[in-house]
């Protein structure tokens, strides 16, 4: 018997921001899948036009709270390239530490509060607290540690203050750094335990597809921060500055939204793509976490983005320990902010917790912004969320509607989508099917 | 005692104020022992009941017709409406398009504007009555707890009525307003501490950056003195106003304060 199903996830709970997925199933075939952003547009590229170089990072970090460190770091880096500032190695190392902190707090929040409840049959972390208090305790421990790292290194957990063009406006004390350093081993141990729990849960959803991945790439380390190269799983490395040539934005007839494609196809950004493309450079501790995860690479299964985030939580904790040990031993050197600034154009690419993030700016003779382009992870992933429905729906079309809804919610949540980011300039098309 | 029924709503913004509530960490559970959260889309799927609320917290600014409708519905369903953060309080950074060339701003973000539906950015109190505003971009979680505690005890929440400068001098920070050295490349030569409401602990000056006014105007702000000083430093009135309204261009009350100054 054929049955038509129209599934409208108008209320995707437990994601950051307000998004909608509309899926039409006819005769057990997917007719159409559309992921939409329902938040109002904010026009950030327009708002920063005419603003001085030092104003832009402060304003642009407001695109998104949970990724505010990434927006702050990638904007300062792109602006530095544009106007002729080359910060010290110490500044790059501090920014990496800030990015690891953000990755830890964001991954922990997403995994324990937003994603894991589905795997354990719960509707929220609050619901989880009654049956799995130990998991909620781990979540608070990791979240608090990640936030404290952002506070101590960046001056504030949301919208960092100290990361500025050319360096940092203030440094943490050795005592503060030691406090963070001493708390990180517990995060590693507890995350390893959670990886074992997730790896052992039976009957997890899977999705069959072999679509492409993109991430930033550095041959010498598992890159989370600012590299010159991007890498695609299918076609290899290309210069980050040429992103507009490779990652084409196209308009599709059924929607006003822009879609990013690579060679005309959808691709994924985020923890799972990074793990696939850069796993050879995980820390030894990160490799141990990978062993416990039982993942086999290449792994194209979107649902495994959750496991990849847990592995990265361990890896970032270890990388943070390494950097903190260095700063505790060596202290900080005062930054040099003496530069002859000039007009120009600059691009930077980094990894936000939920994937590739690119900023590009042009500054005029008066050092005011005359052009900007910001592409966020959720904008990159949007088309992939839709093509995943093509891959997933045929496998689940005979299931009851409620179960299909849950699986589609889990699919969208696996991307850890950040609607605020994608709504920074995305066109809003509320066409109800 | 029945627990007060609370809803937490997000309009257009970065979701940072909701995140700051989640950042209360263990304290969230203490708070949940005292209130009944019946609607909070960012954190929970169920229960999702936005009706008959004792308190509605609203984050984010109004940027389209749907959101105008939504806040009216929230008001009808809530005994107290409290805005959290600069977006809900006064428009937030996205409100700057109200005081810029709106068409140019939109065109810089989109090549094709045919699908964009938007209205001038508004703080929530431009559309409905708001009982209290929790200030800041983002809000400070301790501020949030203190205000919720006051409400649960039936007390008036604390109002500072003093500028950021007062808190800043207590922290022994170097003054960014009394400029003594060359301004480094990474910051503005103007500090908005003298006209901005305290309560943040002078967060930015304590971290090596001047105050940029995210908490909004204090009572009796000495705007004209600030503008005179900034003009002396070579800034145009237009640029000073753009800085001073970075978080508040969606507020007609703030607009009025600056007009009176002129």
User: Which pLDDT tens digit goes with each residue over B219-252?
Assistant: 888 888 888 888 888 888 888 899 999 999 999 9
Q: Which residues of B touch A162 (CB under 8 A)?
A: 207-209
pLDDT at A406: 85
How many CB pairs (< 8 A) connect A and B?
Answer: 197
- Determine whether the interchain pair A64/B14 forms a contact, defined as Cβ–Cβ distance below 8 Å: yes
Contacting residues of B for A50, CB less than 8 Å apart: 100
Residues 59-78 of A with CB under 8 A from B: 59, 62-66, 68
CA dihedral sign of residues A219, A222, A227, A229: positive
CA distance A118 to A115: 6
Give the Å distances, CA to CA, from A21 to A9, A13, A125, B244: 5, 12, 23, 39
Determine the pLDDT at residue A8.
65
pLDDT tens-digit series, residues B162-210:
999 999 999 999 899 887 678 899 999 899 999 999 999 999 999 999 9
Q: Cβ contacts of residue A36 below 8 Å, gap of 6+? A: A19, A20, A21, A22, A255, A257, A428, A429, A430
Q: Cβ of B34 under 8 Å from any chain A Cβ?
A: no
B204: three-class secondary structure by DSSP: helix
Report how far Cα A137 is from the mean position of its chain's Cα atoms: 24
pLDDT of residue A429: 35
State the CB neighbour count (10 A cutoff) for residue A147: 25
Predicted confidence at residue A431, as pLDDT, reads 34
> What is the torsion angle, in degrees rounded to the nearest 10, for the CA atoms of residue A309, residue A310, residue A311 and residue A313?
90
Q: Report pLDDT for A419.
A: 67
Residue of B nearest to A367 (CA): B185
Structure tokens at A273: 């793509």
User: Do A124 and B92 count as a contact with CB atoms less than 8 A apart?
Assistant: no
Nearest-CB residue to B105 (from A16, A47, A126): A47
A18 to chain B, any CB pair closer than 8 A? The answer is yes
Radius of gyration of chain A (CA): 21
CA end-to-end span of chain A, whole Å? 23
pLDDT of residue A306: 96
- For residue B235, the model assigns a pLDDT of 86
Residue of B nearest to A152 (CA): B207
With an 8 Å Cβ cutoff, are A166 and B23 in contact? Answer: no
- Looking at the DSSP bridge assignments, the partners of residue A248 are A261
Q: Given CB atoms, is A428 within the 8 Å cutoff of chain B? A: yes
Mean pLDDT for the stretch of residues B106-126: 79
Mean pLDDT (whole number) for B76-98 = 96
Which of A47, A158, A169 lies nearest to residue B16, judging by beta carbons?
A158
pLDDT on residue A2: 47
Nearest CB to B207; choose among A49, A143, A162:
A162
- Angle, helices A305-330 vs A284-293, to 10°: value is 160
Contacts with B20 from chain A: Cβ below 8 Å: 65, 157-158
pLDDT, one tens digit for every residue, chain A (433 residues): 346 776 665 555 555 556 677 888 887 788 888 877 666 778 898 999 999 999 999 999 999 999 999 999 999 999 999 999 999 999 999 999 999 999 999 999 999 988 898 899 887 777 788 888 899 899 999 999 999 999 999 999 999 999 999 999 999 999 999 999 999 999 999 999 999 999 999 888 888 778 999 999 999 999 999 999 999 999 999 999 999 999 987 766 555 456 788 988 999 999 999 999 999 999 999 999 999 999 999 999 999 999 999 999 999 999 999 999 999 999 999 988 999 999 999 999 999 999 999 999 999 999 999 999 998 898 899 889 889 988 888 888 888 888 888 888 888 889 988 766 655 544 333 333 3
Nearest-CA neighbor of A353 among A49, A43, A111?
A111
Q: Are B13 and B61 in contact (CB under 8 A)?
A: yes
pLDDT surpasses 70 at B143: yes
Q: Does B90 touch chain A if contact means CB atoms closer than 8 Å?
A: no
**Residue written as tokens 């939204």?**
A257
As a residue count, chain A comes to: 433
Model confidence pLDDT, tens digit, residues B40-68: 887 776 678 999 999 999 999 999 898 99
Helix (H) or strand (E) holding B182: none
């Amino acid at each position: 018997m054929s049955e038509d199903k129209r599934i409208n996830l108008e209320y995707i709970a437990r994601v950051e921001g307000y998004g909608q997925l509309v899926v039409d199933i006819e005769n057990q075939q997917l007719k159409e899948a559309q992921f939409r952003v329902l938040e109002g547009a904010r026009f950030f590229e327009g708002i920063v036009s005419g603003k001085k170089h030092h104003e832009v990072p402060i304003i642009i970090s407001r695109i998104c709270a949970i990724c505010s460190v990434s927006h702050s770091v990638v904007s300062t880096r792109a602006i530095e390239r544009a106007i002729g500032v080359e910060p010290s190695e110490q500044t790059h190392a501090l920014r990496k530490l800030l990015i690891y902190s953000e990755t830890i707090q964001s991954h922990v929040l997403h995994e324990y509060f937003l994603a894991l409840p589905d795997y354990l049959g719960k509707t929220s972390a609050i619901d989880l607290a009654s049956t799995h208090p130990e998991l909620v305790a781990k979540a608070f421990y990791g979240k608090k540690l990640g936030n404290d790292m952002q506070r101590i290194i960046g001056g504030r957990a949301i919208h960092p203050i100290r990361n500025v063009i050319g360096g940092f406006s203030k440094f943490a004390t050795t005592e503060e750094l030691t406090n963070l350093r001493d708390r990180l081993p517990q995060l590693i141990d507890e995350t390893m335990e959670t990886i074992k729990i997730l790896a052992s849960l039976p009957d997890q959803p899977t999705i069959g597809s072999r679509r492409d991945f993109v991430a930033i790439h550095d041959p010498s380390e598992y890159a989370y921060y600012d590299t010159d190269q991007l890498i695609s799983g299918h076609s290899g490395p290309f210069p980050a500055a040429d992103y507009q040539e490779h990652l084409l934005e196209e308009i599709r007839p059924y929607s006003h939204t822009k879609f990013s494609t690579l060679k005309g196809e959808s691709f994924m950004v985020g923890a799972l793509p990074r793990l696939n493309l850069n796993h050879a450079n995980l820390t030894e501790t990160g490799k141990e976490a990978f062993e416990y995860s039982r993942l086999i690479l290449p792994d194209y299964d979107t649902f495994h983005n959750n496991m990849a985030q847990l592995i990265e939580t361990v890896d970032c904790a270890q990388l943070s320990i390494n950097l903190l040990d260095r700063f505790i031993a060596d202290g900080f050197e005062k930054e040099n902010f003496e530069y002859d600034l000039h007009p120009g154009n600059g691009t930077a690419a980094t990894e936000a917790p939920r994937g590739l993030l690119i900023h590009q700016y042009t500054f005029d003779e008066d050092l005011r912004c005359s052009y900007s382009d910001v592409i966020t992870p959720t904008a990159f992933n949007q088309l992939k969320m839709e093509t995943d429905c093509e891959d997933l729906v045929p496998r689940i079309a005979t299931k009851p509607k409620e179960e299909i809804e849950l699986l589609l919610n889990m699919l969208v949540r696996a991307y850890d989508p950040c609607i605020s980011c994608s709504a920074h300039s995305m066109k809003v098309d509320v066409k109800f099917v | 005692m029945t627990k007060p029924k609370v809803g937490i709503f997000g309009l257009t913004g970065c979701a940072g104020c909701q995140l700051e509530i989640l950042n209360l960490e263990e304290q969230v559970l203490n708070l949940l022992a005292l209130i009944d959260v019946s609607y909070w889309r960012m954190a929970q799927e169920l229960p999702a009941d936005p009706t008959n609320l004792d308190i509605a917290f609203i984050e984010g600014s109004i940027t389209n017709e749907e959101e105008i409708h939504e806040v009216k519905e929230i008001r009808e369903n809530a005994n107290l409406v409290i805005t959290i953060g600069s977006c809900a309080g006064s428009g937030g950074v996205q409100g700057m398009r109200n005081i810029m060339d709106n068409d140019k701003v939109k065109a810089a973000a989109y090549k094709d504007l045919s699908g964009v539906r938007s209205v001038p950015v508004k703080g929530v109190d431009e559309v409905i009555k708001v009982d209290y505003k929790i200030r800041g971009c983002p809000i400070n979680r301790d501020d949030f707890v203190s205000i919720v505690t006051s409400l649960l005890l039936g007390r008036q929440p604390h109002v500072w009525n003093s500028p950021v400068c007062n808190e800043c001098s207590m922290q022994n920070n170097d003054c960014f307003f009394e400029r003594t050295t060359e301004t480094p490349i990474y910051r503005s030569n103007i500090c908005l501490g003298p006209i901005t409401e305290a309560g943040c602990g002078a967060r930015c000056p304590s971290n090596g950056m001047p105050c940029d006014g995210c908490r909004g105007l204090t009572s009796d702000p000495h705007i004209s003195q600030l503008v005179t000083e900034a003009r002396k430093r070579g800034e145009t009135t237009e640029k000073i106003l753009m800085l001073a309204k970075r978080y508040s261009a969606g507020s007609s009350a703030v607009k009025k304060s600056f007009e009176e100054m002129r």
